[in-house]
Amino acid sequence: MNRRNLPAILLIAAFVFAFSASAAAAPAQVEDGVLTIAMECAYAPYNWTQGDDANGAVPIANVPGSFANGYDVMIGQRICEANGWELEVIQSDWDSLVPGVQTGTFDAVIAGQSMTAERSEVVDFAGPYFYATIVCLTRADSPFANATSIAELSGGTCTAQLATIWYDTCLPQIEGANILPGSESAPAMLMALETGAVDFICTDMPTAQGAQAAYPDEFVILDFSGTDGDFQFTEEERAENVNIGVSLMKGSDELREAIDSVLSEMTVEDFNDLMAYAISIQE
C-alpha cells in the first residue's frame, strides 16, 4: 500500500462509517415499497378484525387467517395507492403502538390516536386524518340518558379507555363522578357499559356512533359540544382532542410529507363520508 494514500483512505473510511451509522439510525422511508402500519384491530369503527376480505379488508400480517378493516385501514389504503406502496397491517395492543413506531417495528400507527402534545414529544405526526368530537355514551334506560351537560352526570359511575384524553382529561372534569379504573381497550370499555358496570363512558363520536349502530336501541349518545356544559379545554387542548393523526418515528420527514400530500387533498366532508361508510359496514 502507498502510505501517501493512507490519510485519504482513512478519511473515506471514516465518512463511510459515519454515513452508515447515520443511515442505520434514520427512520425507515418505505424503501421496500411496503408501508407497515399498526392498529389494535379492535377499535370499531376505526379498525376491527374480521374473518375474510369482504369490503376491502386486508390480511393482518401477524395474525394468520384474520383480516383488518375500518376507517384506519381505508386511510392506509388511500395513502398507499397514491404513493405506489403496498399496505401491511400489524395488530398491536394500544400501549404498544407508540413504542413500536419509536423502535421502527412498524412504519406508522394509524389507530385513531389524538395528536396530543405529550405524544408529539416522542413521535412525529402526519395529518390530521379525522376531526373527532368527544361525547359520552350511556344506556337508553339510564337515569343519565337525558343529560344536557357534564354537570348532570354527577354521581354516575364511569370509565374510558386507558391512556386516552377521555380518561385522563375529560372524566376528571365531571364533579362527583365515580371514576373506575380505565379499560384496557375500546371493546372492554363498551362491555363495562353494556353489562351495567358503569353508567356511562367517555369516548369520541365515531366510537359512540359505531356502538349505537351495532346496538341501536341500547345506547344513547350524549353530545354536549357547542354548549357551556361541554368538556372544557384550552384552544391548544381542543386542537389536540379533535385532531386524529398518523404517528411516525421522530425525524421521518420524507414519510410524513408523503402521507400529508395525500391527507391534505381530503376535506372534512371526505373524512366524514369515509367514516360513515366504515360505520355502515363495521363488524
pTM of the model: 0.81
CATH of the domain at 256: 3.40.190.10
18: pLDDT strictly greater than 70: no
Nearest CA to 27 among 256, 197, 240? 256
Higher pLDDT residue, 25 or 69? 69
CA distance 152 to 75: 37
Angle between helices 253-263 and 71-83 in degrees, nearest 10 = 110
- Residue 69: give the domain boundaries: 29-131+243-281
Q: Residue 5: phi, psi to the nearest 5?
A: -90, -10
Q: How many domains does the chain have?
A: 2
For the chain, the C-alpha Rg in angstroms (whole number) is 22
- Alpha-carbon torsion angle 204, 191, 111, 282, nearest 10: -90
CB 248 within 8 A of CB 124: yes
Shared domain check, 124 and 41: yes
Helix (H) / strand (E) containing 81 = helix 71-83
Distance, CA of 190 to chain centre: 17
Place of cell 378493516: 69
Q: What is the mean pLDDT of residues 104-110?
A: 97
Strand pairing of 34-39 and 108-114?
A: parallel
Shared domain check, 247 and 182: no
136: pLDDT strictly greater than 50: yes
Shared domain check, 138 and 126: no
Strand partners, 157: 178
Query: Of 11-25, 33-47, 89-103, 226-240, where does mean pLDDT reach its minimum?
Result: 11-25
Nearest CA to 161 among 134, 136, 139, 190? 190
Per-residue cell: 242: 379533535
Shared domain check, 126 and 33: yes
